[in-house]
Structure 1
Amino acid sequence: MDFKQLRYFHEIARLGSFTRAAETLYVAQPAVSVAIRKLEAELELTLFHRHDRKVTLTDEGARLLPHAQRILQAVSDAQLEMQELKGLTQGKVRVGIPGMLGSYYFPPILMAFRHRHPNLSLQVVEGGTWQLQQMLESGELDLAVIVRDFVPPELEARTFQREEMRVVVAQDHRFAQQACISLSDFFSEELVMFRPGYFHRKIIDRLAEEAGVTPNIGFETNLLPLIKSIIKQGFGISTLLSMVVKEDADLIDLPFAQPVWLDLCIAWRREGYLSRANRAFVDFLLEQNPA
């Protein structure tokens, strides 16, 4: 079993195709097929079910896949660290950010970081908490913003900001003049929610479970402008970070009777190598909101 075989195996498993894997790897398709046949012969196991148009893992292949992922990631980390020891002056930061924060909190942070480190490139991916966590664990991202409550033991994390989730209603809504909103009142209304997988939705699902109710979700969308428009027109209410509505005069934001606070973290793989570029980004982010 060698590195090339594992790399080919991983790409076939990821893409479900020998042909597409060969295209991604920039090698001839027969070379990929030969490498996998040799790997299967060496292991005395069949790793793939070969169908007419799709390739799927056998049970044995599924057991090998996480080992291959860890080995490939370890080699990538080693290559990166060795490059930096040679005095690498440029680098890339691949960071995942939830949409709500990507639209309102991070734009000035990202621009200021680029101003301080003009030789570093930034690749920003927007997604839900679960998607970003999976991409981080698989090595597709170097860093990701995750709510402290949802950080798994496989990740290292540092808190950089505390934000309050607020109930958001239209100016003429019956809640608009109240000082705060109870969970029972909130869940009595038709709600406009992010889709499952986003921290916004995970928080609401958890609150509903604690209150013993089923949320009445009338709209599901990850588009913030649409959420705000639906609320303004009186077709539902929602809960958003205060930063999202603080400059919108047509919306009223109110605290829950028992305030809901979120500790926002920058996270990375606990066992992974954090490059100098990524360490610079983490340090810069923590500088913006010192404890």
Structure 2
Amino acid sequence: MDVRQLRYFACVAEQMSFTRAARKLHIAQPALSIAIKKLESSIGLNLFDRNERQVHLTYEGKLLLPHAHRILQMMEDANTEMAELRGLQKGEVRVGVPGMLGSYFFPSILMGFKSQYPDLKLSVVEAGTQSIRQMLLDGELDVGVIHSKDVPAALDTSHLITSQMVAVTSTDHPLATRSSISFESFFDEELVMFKKGYFHREFIDQICATHKISPHLSFETNLLAMILNIVRHGFAITALLELVTEHEPGLVAIPFDEPVTLDISMAWRKHGYLSLADRAFIDFVQQNK
């Protein structure tokens, strides 16, 4: 097998269609089919179960796929490093940031980095920490901001910030005058929350499981601006990092009776290649957090 065959194999596995994969690879479908058949012949195994409508990975194909992904990522890392040594590219940093930190903590850091390194490109992806973890492991991101708890062994981390999680209400909400709030009182209210996959939601689900509470989820959205407006207009309350409420008018932050603090880290693949641009970004954030 060769790298080109593995790239074709991974693309067909992703698209579950020879037609869509050929279109994405910009090659003719017959050429793609021939390449896959040659790969299957070289290893003596069928990798796809083909029918008229869709293509499915066989058991053997499922076993080969993660190896193919690792090999392709290693090839990409090697090409990037060699290109840097030849001075053929200025560099790009692909960064994954959760919504709350992307809106309130990172803008000044990103602008400062761009000011210091104007020729480097920053590609910023907003996503939940679970998605960011997976994208780091898959090589789709170079650096990501994640919750410091349960970090996969394949990632290295550097502590970024520690922030308190607080209940958030409108200024005229009945709870707004409290100095602190119990979990029971919080979960008695109508709630607006991020969808699963965000550390904000992980926190909520963990508290509910620990205290055997069924929350009243009136709204679920991944849009931070919508959450803030729903709370500000009194339709529901939520829980956010305290740093959010420090920048938003019309909201009241109420600590929980049992204080909750979250540690947030910057992460990257432990054995993945970090480009010069990636290392410059990590160093800059560590110096300016």
TM-score (norm 1): 0.95
Counterpart amino acid of residue 64 in structure 1: L
| Structure-1 separation of matches of 2:247 and 2:103 | 13
| Structure-2 separation of matches of 1:40 and 1:88 | 36
Counterpart amino acid of residue 92 in structure 2: K
Q: Label 1:8 to 1:89 Cα distance change in 2 as closer, same or farther (>3 A).
A: closer
The residue aligned with 1:130 is 130
Larger CA deviation: 103-112 vs 192-201: 103-112
Q: Could you list the per-position Cα deviations for residues 197-236 of structure 1 after superposition, in whole angstroms to 9, with x for gaps in the alignment?
A: 1111001111111222122211111112221222122221
Q: Could you list the per-position Cα deviations for residues 112-168 of structure 1 after superposition, in whole angstroms to 9, with x for gaps in the alignment?
A: 111100110011111111211111111111111101014211211111111111110
TM-score (norm 2): 0.95
| Structure-2 separation of matches of 1:58 and 1:79 | 31
Larger CA deviation: 65-74 vs 150-159: 150-159
Contact 2:83 2:89 in 1 (8 A): no
Q: Label 1:88 to 1:258 Cα distance change in 2 as closer, same or farther (>3 A).
A: farther
1:234-249 correspondence to structure 2 within 5 Å: 234-249=234-249
The residue aligned with 1:78 is 78
Q: Once superposed, what is the RMSD of the aligned Cα atoms? A: 1.4
Q: Label 1:89 to 1:5 Cα distance change in 2 as closer, same or farther (>3 A).
A: closer
Counterpart amino acid of residue 282 in structure 1: I
1:200-279 correspondence to structure 2 within 5 Å: 200-279=200-279
Structure 1: tracts of 5 or more residues without a match? none
The residue aligned with 2:168 is 168
Counterpart amino acid of residue 273 in structure 2: Y
Q: Is the counterpart of residue 190 in structure 1 residue 179 in structure 2?
A: no
Q: Is the counterpart of residue 120 in structure 1 residue 120 in structure 2?
A: yes
Counterpart amino acid of residue 130 in structure 1: Q
Counterpart amino acid of residue 122 in structure 1: L
Identity of aligned residues (%): 51
- SS of residue matched to 1:72: helix
- How far did residue 89 of structure 1 move? 5.7
| Structure-2 separation of matches of 1:207 and 1:66 | 35
- How far did residue 54 of structure 1 move? 2.1
Larger CA deviation: 138-147 vs 223-232: 223-232
Counterpart amino acid of residue 235 in structure 1: F
- SS of residue matched to 1:125: strand
- How far did residue 277 of structure 1 move? 0.5
- SS of residue matched to 2:56: strand
- SS of residue matched to 1:257: strand
- How far did residue 190 of structure 1 move? 1.6
- SS of residue matched to 1:255: strand
The residue aligned with 2:36 is 36
Larger CA deviation: 272-281 vs 179-188: 179-188
